[in-house]
Amino acid sequence: MAKAKTVYSCTECGAQFPKWTGQCQECGDWNTLQEEVAPQKVAAATNPKAARFEGFAPKADVQKLQTVSVKGTPRFGSGLAELDRVLGGGLVPGSVILLGGDPGIGKSTLILQSLALLSDKNNTLYVTGEESAEQIALRAQRLGVQDADVSLLADNQLESILDVAVQYKPDVLVVDSIQTLYTDTLQSAPGSVAQVRETASRLVRFGKQTKTIVILVGHVTKEGALAGPRVLEHMVDTVLYFEGEQNSTFRLIRAIKNRFGAVNEIGVFAMTDTGLKEVSNPSAMFIKRTQEDATGSVVLVSQEGTRPLLVEVQSLVDQSSLANPRRVTVGLDNQRLAMLLAVVNRHAGYSLHDQDVFVNVIGGVKVHEPAADLAILLSVLSSYKNRRLDSDLAVFGEVGLTGEIRPVQRGLDRIREVEKLGFRRLIMPKGNQSGVKSKKLEIIAVNTLEQAVRIAFDQ
């Protein structure tokens, strides 16, 4: 027998190479090439299972753009308002959604809760390749949804799953997870890039042709043990990431790509003993401070999609014993912190070159917008100077390299949120002020970092 050909596939971008290299030539990522058996299609004639599903394709007709009838995108709610918000208003028939996230973050829990709510009115099919039906039933008991009308299928062979789906005609088909699926038409192991790509593309085709909502669950692992779902992102309509710190109860769901709605919208959940609970007013949760007026703590007015979010930023600045003092961030961009510390040195006169600086965003939130700059700096300085900031003070604003405070997006929404949560003072960029008045809130608009520092620390 001829030796099976091997190829090396990149787990990040899916590119294939005949030889192993440390870096993927296509996407530039390191250590992502995995050896696999070269994908050899078994001829359709010799594999009746493979041939069967080519049958449901309707004839492709050429249409004029003007004649395509658009009835508006019908959507139906997923049962969870926070999930609907991220989806852009609800599930769209025929759309394919990829739900990614670290193992154990709560993907299966979210899916089961949503399916239980959906099953009232819709036909749902939950395909589980990872867990047995008993395990799902146990989880359902824990979630209190054991009586929901959800159909389960414990299988991981694509052809037989599609067989069942064609007969069963679900409105919503969930596959948990895509990495456990395999098709007989390929020889490589489940979870390999080739299998993941092929099974996903067949499911996408099935969804489009039968107007079924297909939700694919995918794992992301740093070690690359399973093919990352990154290769799938191009194929699907919507990519959602479920994130959060393992030891925090908060879970954020974020749209990375959405053909039917805005991206960067977030939904917030809290993981409890009885499943995920929606958090409709996240700001109030993230800034539940245990210690009033601690040094190094500042409330930042951040923005996620269309939603302002108040989060607490904490810093610790401490004398360093290292030649290169540490700059450690959690939930923030490390490079940005280094840049901000340089700005503070030049334009506010505080040199932190011999100090370790640690900055953390509480609650496992990730803030990646420049509007966080001013809050980060005030928090760092509060720790450095050992001076508390008022607990009823909130801050937002971008800091430029020349020490100016630059306006940010959606200033008004942020101001309203601060007002709503009962803060008394807000330090913000002058450029965002434009005639905004508030009775309850003292708005302090600043132009420069120096001015902001002076006001914050009453100098």
In three-state secondary structure terms, 298 is: strand
**Distance separating alpha carbons of residues 406 and 429, to the nearest angstrom:** 6
109 binds, among Mg ion, ligand TYD, none (CB under 5 to 8 A by kind): ligand TYD
Q: How much is the CA Rg of the chain, to the nearest whole Å?
A: 26
- Choices 36-44, 46-54, 273-281, 447-455; region in contact with ligand TYD by CB under 6 A: 273-281
Applying the rule CB under 6 A, the residues between 286 and 325 that interact with ligand TYD are none
Residue 424's Cβ-count burial label (10 Å; 0-12, 13-18, 19+) is: middle
Which of 9, 11, 78, 108 lies at the binding interface for Mg ion (CB under 5 A)? 108
Burial 204-235 (b: 16+ CB within 10 A, else e): bbbbeebebbbbbbbbbeeebebbbbbbbbeb
In three-state secondary structure terms, 397 is: coil
- Contact of 115 with 143, CB cutoff 8 Å: no
Asked if residue 103 binds ligand TYD (CB under 6 A), the reply is yes
Which of 15, 137, 263, 271 lies at the binding interface for ligand TYD (CB under 6 A)? 271
- Residue 133 beta carbon to Mg ion: minimum distance, rounded to whole angstroms: 14
- Residue 101 beta carbon to ligand TYD: minimum distance, rounded to whole angstroms: 6
For residue 2, give the DSSP letter. P
Question: What string of DSSP letters covers 306-369?
Answer: TEEEEEEEEEEEEE--SSS--EEEESS-HHHHHHHHHHHHHHH----TTEEEEEEEGGG----S
Burial 159-186 (b: 16+ CB within 10 A, else e): bebbebbeeeebbbbbbbbbbbbbbebb
Which of 6, 41, 104, 257 lies at the binding interface for ligand TYD (CB under 6 A)? 104
Asked if residue 277 binds ligand TYD (CB under 6 A), the reply is no
- Choices 25-33, 49-57, 267-275, 424-432; region in contact with ligand TYD by CB under 6 A: 267-275
Nearest CB to Mg ion, comparing residues 21 and 274: 274
106 binds, among Mg ion, ligand TYD, none (CB under 5 to 8 A by kind): ligand TYD
144 binds, among ligand TYD, Mg ion, none (CB under 5 to 8 A by kind): none
Which of 39, 79, 90, 106 lies at the binding interface for ligand TYD (CB under 6 A)? 106
- Contact of 439 with 413, CB cutoff 8 Å: no
**Distance separating alpha carbons of residues 365 and 312, to the nearest angstrom:** 10
- Choices 63-71, 107-115, 262-270, 381-389; region in contact with Mg ion by CB under 5 A: 107-115
Which of 7, 86, 97, 105 lies at the binding interface for ligand TYD (CB under 6 A)? 105
- Choices 232-240, 272-280, 338-346, 405-413; region in contact with ligand TYD by CB under 6 A: 272-280
275 binds, among ligand TYD, Mg ion, none (CB under 5 to 8 A by kind): ligand TYD
For residue 19, give the DSSP letter. S
Site for Mg ion, rule CB under 5 A: 108
Site for ligand TYD, rule CB under 6 A: 101, 103-109, 139, 142-143, 271, 273-275
